[in-house]
């Protein structure tokens, strides 16, 4: 069975500091991996996804994530945090060969950005 673990339910950084949100997955077969962002009272917006090409994936708003098979990780980073990055971030996994929309989400990490 697939699962996703996001380490840290809350992360706080200063504006301009590095953002690192951790995600580890469990899957019996190579999965597709995703990061979504959710602003208060809104739906989810796709930041980036890994399907099978380059292991370093670049997304919107300056975010990127690196797929590390040996560590079963897909951590999200951004070199310099901006106040507008404050939101909740979800890592998700889906099975190859299945519907990419049948996603298993982690519990989320709420990012706070201090001025």
Binding residues vs another protein (CB under 8 A): 4, 9, 36, 41-46, 49, 51, 90, 92, 99-108
* Distance of closest approach, residue 16 Cβ to another protein, in angstroms: 28
Q: Is the Cβ of residue 44 or residue 86 nearer to another protein in the bound state? A: 44
CA distances from 29 to 53, 67, 83 (A): 16, 14, 37
Q: Is the Cβ of residue 101 or residue 115 nearer to another protein in the bound state? A: 101
* Distance of closest approach, residue 36 Cβ to another protein, in angstroms: 8
CA atoms within a 13 Å half-sphere pointing along the CA-CB vector of 82: 6
Tell me the DSSP string of 56-80.
EEE-GGG-EEEEEGGGTEEEEEESS
Q: Is the Cβ of residue 43 or residue 115 nearer to another protein in the bound state? A: 43
* Distance of closest approach, residue 91 Cβ to another protein, in angstroms: 8
Phi-psi label, residue 42: left if phi above 0, alpha if psi -120 to 50, beta otherwise = beta
């Amino acid at each position: 069975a697939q699962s996703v673990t996001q380490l840290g339910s809350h992360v706080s950084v200063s504006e301009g500091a590095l953002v690192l949100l951790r995600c580890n997955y469990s899957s019996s077969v190579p999965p597709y991996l995703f990061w979504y962002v959710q602003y208060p009272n809104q739906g989810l917006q796709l930041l980036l996804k890994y399907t099978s090409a380059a292991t370093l994936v670049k997304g919107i708003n300056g975010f990127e994530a690196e797929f590390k098979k040996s560590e079963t990780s897909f951590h999200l980073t951004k070199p310099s945090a901006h106040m507008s990055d404050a939101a909740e971030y979800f890592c998700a996994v889906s099975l190859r060969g299945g519907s990419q929309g049948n996603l298993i989400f982690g519990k989320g990490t709420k990012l706070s950005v201090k001025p």
